[in-house]
Amino acid sequence: MKLLVAIAPERYRDEELDEPRAVFARAGIGFDIASTKTGTCTGMLGGRAQATLTFDRASAGDYAGIVVIGGAGSPAHLWGNGDLIRLVQAFHDTHKIVAAICLSPVVLARAGILRGLPSTAFKTPESVHEMKAGGSAISDMPVVVSGNIITANGPAAARAFGSAIIEALKR
């Protein structure tokens, strides 16, 4: 079983990648990292991650779910990325796990999969506007699970977010 982890090429939130990645490793779940470009991606706190494929080269059929990492780079690199939005829709349409943390639940809202569902996100005026435009009721909970859709509100929830993904994979 393998997950696709989507990150911005720069300014992804380090803990939001590192904490779930550690949870996945402990559970024996593999993952590939995708971004807008292949190669080294840099985190807000100086971390580095290697993206081995781009969103346009990834296929939902190869993975059990997608995990979209947040951070300050998310609005610039992920929110409006058509390839990532199409991937999220493909995972959702095939009833696979779709998870996003911090500012990245906006990608799910823009993909149209949060309409009528509770979710959470890191709240900024822009993210709240986007989540509401996508029809989601924003919760103050750190992690919200709505069927196969999992959202989390930021770095402090990163470990619980990873655990919720593992629990969803067991269903």
Q: List pLDDT tens digits, range 27-39.
A: 999 999 999 999 9
Dihedral (CA of 91, 86, 128, 100) sign? positive
pLDDT at 43: 98
Task: Report the C-alpha gap between 79 and 26 in whole angstroms.
Answer: 30
> Mean pLDDT throughout 54-75?
98
- What is the band of 4 on the pLDDT scale with cuts at 50, 70, 90? very high
Report d(CA 107, CA 171) in Å as an integer.
24
CATH number at residue 73: 3.40.50.880
Q: How many angstroms separate the CA atoms of 116 and 49, rounded?
A: 34
pLDDT digits (tens, 9 = 90+) for 132-145: 999 998 999 999 99
Name residue 53's beta-bridge partners.
Answer: 34
Q: Residue 69: is it exposed, middle or buried by C-beta count within 10 angstroms (0-12/13-18/19+)? A: buried
DSSP tag of 64: S
DSSP H/E element including 62: none
Q: What confidence score (pLDDT) does residue 129 get?
A: 97
pLDDT for the residue 66? 98
Tell me the pLDDT of the chain averaged across its residues: 97
Q: What is the pLDDT of residues 96-124, one digit of tens each?
A: 999 999 999 999 999 999 999 999 999 99
Range of the domain at 6: 2-170
| Residue 85 scores a pLDDT above 90 | yes
CA distance 44 to 55: 21
Distance in Å from the first CA to the final CA of the chain: 13
Mean pLDDT of 9-33: 97
How many domains does the chain contain in total? 1
Tell me what the mean pLDDT of segment 13-32 comes to: 97
pLDDT at residue 171 above 90? no
The pLDDT assigned to 38 comes to 98
- Give percent above pLDDT 70 in the chain: 100
**Cα dist. 49→17, 130, 146 in Å?**
9, 28, 29
Structure tokens at 50: 């290697």
